[in-house]
Amino acid sequence: MKIHSSLSVASLLISLFATASLSKASETRPHAVAVDGILCDLVRTISSSNVKVSCLVPPTGDPHFYKLKPSDLINLSSANVIFHNGYQLTPLVNKLPSEIKTIAVGEVALNIKEDPQDNFIDPHVWHDPNNISLMATTIEANLKDYIPVYQWTELNNRTNKVKSTLSTLSSWITTQIDTIPVSNRVITSEHRAFSHLAKKFNMQEMPIIDSFSTKGKMRPSDLKRITSDLSKLGTRELLPETFPASKTLKRVSRASGIPISKTQLFLDGLAPDMSTVETAISNVCAISISQGGTCDQISAEKISSQWKNIP
């Protein structure tokens, strides 16, 4: 009986302690805000339940034109740290509360110096999974400032799983691009967003709309040059950003005789209901198939589930 009662007291104490630490954990969990691009999925995957992660620009939203809503400001007021892509992907970051630590993850991770010739860095850095891997390291290093030391090993394990999945994804992309005939290895998009992907995987890049000399208006001389460039680069299909395709893309298609693809590219964040890895696979498959290559869906699915199974 005595043994029984001391056991009861012990278990009561344990359960009280557990309840207290649980409620403490939920009260003191750090709050990270992921602003744009693929950061919502990436920060969530790396931090798991040890960090409260909220997202500002919706995963499928347009970061270039997003405006802060009153509810965003309320949400931001409890943030410990803000992660954003950087390279001016989202102009609203200039309006974020200055007292909260704000990290331009892409800029810190990649540390690309401005090209004096070009004077422009394509902010869509995540289309090269090797860049996402560097961004993962930056996020891990910064989250350590907000979580207890005993959670660091777990954080590091997840970051390593993220990085190894991205490395597998990078090899998978190389394999798919290799199936495209050499004379057709070009990424034709409307806006410039795939320069990092093109550079890493030895492809040409043809951003139709961003190739105009005049902003927004395509003159007949532009159309003539674009048609000639598309032919030289071996573009077989024009990949739209939206459906229905833009007027500009339709005009280019009519002038060049190059059809508009039935699959679209996802430039600015995640594809609807897709993870970072699934979005990358969707884009690479669209590029590869439209340019005469193939897309290995079976191996792609394995990489997608590897990402989803990161605890």
Catalog residues that contact Zn ion under the rule CB under 5 A: 267-268
Nearer to Zn ion, 190 or 237 (CB): 190
Nearer to Zn ion, 64 or 225 (CB): 64
d(CA 63, CA 89): 6
Rounded to a whole number of angstroms, the minimum distance from the CB of residue 293 to Zn ion is 24
d(CA 107, CA 86): 6
Rounded to a whole number of angstroms, the minimum distance from the CB of residue 209 to Zn ion is 11
Nearer to Zn ion, 207 or 293 (CB): 207
**Residue tagged 């005993």 (tokens):** 150
Nearer to Zn ion, 146 or 194 (CB): 194
Rounded to a whole number of angstroms, the minimum distance from the CB of residue 65 to Zn ion is 10
Close Cβ partners of 246 (under 8 Å, ≥ 6 residues apart): 190, 209, 240
Q: Which residue from 113, 48, 117, 57 is spatially nearest to 83, judged by alpha carbons? A: 57
Rounded to a whole number of angstroms, the minimum distance from the CB of residue 124 to Zn ion is 6
One-letter amino acid of 233: L
Distances (CA, A) of 20 to 11, 54, 120, 231, 257: 14, 25, 52, 68, 68
Rounded to a whole number of angstroms, the minimum distance from the CB of residue 221 to Zn ion is 26
Q: Give the tokens for residue 246.
A: 């833009």
Nearer to Zn ion, 222 or 268 (CB): 268
Rounded to a whole number of angstroms, the minimum distance from the CB of residue 267 to Zn ion is 5
Q: How far is CA 197 from the centre of its chain?
A: 12
213: DSSP letter: S
| C-beta pairs of 87-91 under 8 Å, 24+ apart in sequence | 87/121, 87/122, 87/123, 87/125, 88/123, 89/36, 89/37, 89/63, 89/64, 89/123, 89/124, 90/35, 90/36, 90/57, 90/63, 90/64, 90/66, 91/64
Nearer to Zn ion, 186 or 267 (CB): 267
d(CA 267, CA 83): 19
Rounded to a whole number of angstroms, the minimum distance from the CB of residue 230 to Zn ion is 21
Rounded to a whole number of angstroms, the minimum distance from the CB of residue 193 to Zn ion is 5
Nearer to Zn ion, 140 or 268 (CB): 268
Nearer to Zn ion, 59 or 234 (CB): 59
Nearer to Zn ion, 187 or 267 (CB): 267
Region class of 232: left (phi > 0), else alpha (psi between -120 and 50), else beta:
alpha
Q: Are the CB atoms for 241 and 189 separated by under 8 Å?
A: yes
Helices and strands per DSSP (H, E), number in the chain = 11, 6
Rounded to a whole number of angstroms, the minimum distance from the CB of residue 37 to Zn ion is 9
